[in-house]
Structure 1
């Protein structure tokens, strides 16, 4: 498997979180710009951001986090995985960075976490990017579409991910497939996140509509045209936020950092300049 050889130069970092360590991938170096933190969605990890972070890291320090319960970050024994729990972890990471201001980009659940943090920490977030999410949900938190838990080899992981996210560049697909799983105790490979997320997605309880008017920082909303996220809802979000604009990527689904990394990196580079 050649996935690891495709990775850009990256540093691993660990921060103290409420449920254990928070693992992160770091790209780039400190600059005059605030550090840019990237947050993934449910069942994802920092590696989803690899190509985007590599591009953005040419000019600044970029930190992609593994949310608690995902990737190499700690698990919550009591199942404390609400959006507020993740926002508390983000606050602890921001404090440990000792930066007066940070920039934030979140995809799906990561965007909800970013908005929750930005709304409760006025003046701490310089610029914000919200990628393919709605601020409230009609589905129950336990209404989860079945996903495979176990794979016999990495090739099988790649086949599944390719079918789920067909536009993804092959090198990024291989990298994500390898880092989305871990060796299973009974042989083969299993998903690298808490099994809790096969049963419940706590963010389905969220309603952030009342938070949107308080997000005064310049904000970019990005929507994938083929996503299940509804474009009219994201347009209403942009209209509700004081300083926001929406960009729609035509040939893209929900996992935009995987499916359209170059286009997303270009949008983020312009927005966070």
Structure 2
């Protein structure tokens, strides 16, 4: 069931109910088919894609972002249990809705967890759910040290922050290559609890479930990647600690028809570090499909 928001803002914010939760969806532009569906990484929100989605909409495309369950403005399941199958099914529901509307599957742009979900769905679905895939700094095998660094940051502040300045300090220490976050940019990322403390938008229960499930799914991800026949682009960050030369080489062996582009100044947070270059590469790839 889809319920459109009554807000007159751009992008259009709406809710899609699936699997017992409401998924918060944002649509940028009203360009032609195929739509471009963005799936964010673990611990992020749809706002991670705002710059890229706005850039693609300005180029005449229709871009769609969403908060995964347990993240941002999307719902949290009763009981607080999360499993990768739920996330894959949610992604499939949104992709299926776009295909019904457009008459053809969307292009998926998936970062980190979002890319792994896309691989799993594309490699196991009976019919292709995506016209093409763009994987953003993720391969079926990843560097464990980089993942541990991300999880360490996510676990570092269980009691939240006393102010937006304190949160900005923590992000600045974690991502020193970025400009300092303003309060306005932090508001979508934090929730204020009854105790007045500011905590990240994601459900803490995610750390006890999904963060451990990706290792279990790794053999399936390899098999899924081998079965994908649609065009695929891997965009990696030259300064990433998640993707390395070895994991890229292995991935290109699994999917020899894929294209790889390295953005040398980007870390794992490719779109945030190099949004203009990132948007250019995604746009060029999509135009080559038509």
TM-score norm. by structure 1 comes to 0.88
Distance (whole Å) between structure 2 residues aligned to residue 138 and residue 228 of structure 1: 7
**1:103, distance to aligned residue in structure 2 (A):** 0.7
Alignment correspondent of 1:4:
none
2:217 to 188, 193, 206: 206
Q: Which has the higher helix share?
A: 2
Per-residue CA shift, 1:10-53, capped at 9, x if unaligned? 2212112113111022111141x211110011111000111111
8 Å CA contact retained: 2:70, 2:203: yes
Over 3 Å counting, the alpha-carbon distance change for 1:242 and 1:261 in structure 2 is: same
**1:79, distance to aligned residue in structure 2 (A):** 4.1
Alignment correspondent of 1:89:
90
Alignment correspondent of 1:23:
24
Alignment correspondent of 2:12:
11
Alignment correspondent of 2:5:
none
Over 3 Å counting, the alpha-carbon distance change for 1:131 and 1:13 in structure 2 is: same
Alignment correspondent of 2:109:
105
8 Å CA contact retained: 2:92, 2:129: no
Quick check: 79-88 or 173-182, which moved more?
173-182
Is the partner of 2:239 in helix, strand or coil?
coil
8 Å CA contact retained: 1:136, 1:205: no
TM-score norm. by structure 2 comes to 0.83
Distance (whole Å) between structure 2 residues aligned to residue 48 and residue 198 of structure 1: 20
Distance (whole Å) between structure 1 residues aligned to residue 37 and residue 237 of structure 2: 21
Distance (whole Å) between structure 2 residues aligned to residue 199 and residue 24 of structure 1: 25
Structure 2 stretches lacking a partner, 5+ long: 1-8
Over 3 Å counting, the alpha-carbon distance change for 1:248 and 1:198 in structure 2 is: same
**1:138, distance to aligned residue in structure 2 (A):** 7.9
Over 3 Å counting, the alpha-carbon distance change for 1:271 and 1:156 in structure 2 is: same
Per-residue CA shift, 1:200-258, capped at 9, x if unaligned? 41323221111112111111101112221123202221231142011111122111122
8 Å CA contact retained: 2:26, 2:64: yes
Is the partner of 2:138 in helix, strand or coil?
coil
8 Å CA contact retained: 1:41, 1:110: yes
Alignment correspondent of 2:133:
128
**1:159, distance to aligned residue in structure 2 (A):** 2.2
Higher relative contact order (CA 8 A, sep 6+): 1
1:233 to 247, 250, 259: 247
Distance (whole Å) between structure 1 residues aligned to residue 275 and residue 163 of structure 2: 26
Over 3 Å counting, the alpha-carbon distance change for 1:169 and 1:269 in structure 2 is: farther
8 Å CA contact retained: 1:223, 1:231: no
Structure 1 stretches lacking a partner, 5+ long: 1-7
In the alignment, is residue 116 of structure 1 matched against residue 120 of structure 2? yes
After the TM superposition, list the runs of 4 or more consecutive aligned residues in structure 1 that deviate by more than 6 angstroms: none
Over 3 Å counting, the alpha-carbon distance change for 1:64 and 1:109 in structure 2 is: same
In the alignment, is residue 257 of structure 1 matched against residue 258 of structure 2? no
8 Å CA contact retained: 1:165, 1:253: no
In the alignment, is residue 177 of structure 1 matched against residue 186 of structure 2? yes
Quick check: 53-62 or 120-129, which moved more?
120-129
Over 3 Å counting, the alpha-carbon distance change for 1:258 and 1:137 in structure 2 is: closer
Alignment correspondent of 1:163:
173
In the alignment, is residue 221 of structure 1 matched against residue 234 of structure 2? yes
